[in-house]
Amino acid sequence: MDVHIKIGKSILDQYSKYAETEFIDDEAEYFPTVKVIIEGIVGTLESTEEKEEIESILIDHVKQHYVSLWIKHATEDEENPDTDYEKGRASSKFDRIYND
C-alpha cells in the first residue's frame, strides 16, 4: 500500500509542477487528469478498504498542493491577502470541481 501512495504522490507532484509551468484550465484539464491518475492507481488494488484509504490520501495530497498554490498566487496578486479566507475559497473550489 505504501508503494502505491509513494508512486501516486510522485506522479501527482510531477503533474502539478507541469501544470504550474503551462496554462492548464482547472476544470477542463487539471482536475480530469488528476482524477484519471488517482483512479488508475486505485484501480490496481483489490481491497476496497485499501482503495478508499489510498484514494483519500492522494486526494488530500493534491488538495494541499492546490490550496498552497492558490495562496501563492493570492500573495502575488495582493500585498496582504486574508489567507484563511483564501484557503477556504481554494478548498471549496477544489471540493466542488473534484467531486463534480
The count of domains in the chain is 1
Rounded CA gap, 44 and 89, in Å? 33
pLDDT at 77: 84
Rounded CA gap, 25 and 100, in Å? 15
20-40 pLDDT, tens digit per residue, is 888 899 999 999 999 999 999
* The residue type at 87: K
44-68 pLDDT, tens digit per residue, is 999 999 999 999 999 999 999 999 9
Residues of the domain holding 52: 2-99
pTM, two decimals, is 0.91
pLDDT at 1: 79
**pLDDT for 12 beyond 90:** yes
Rounded CA gap, 50 and 65, in Å? 23
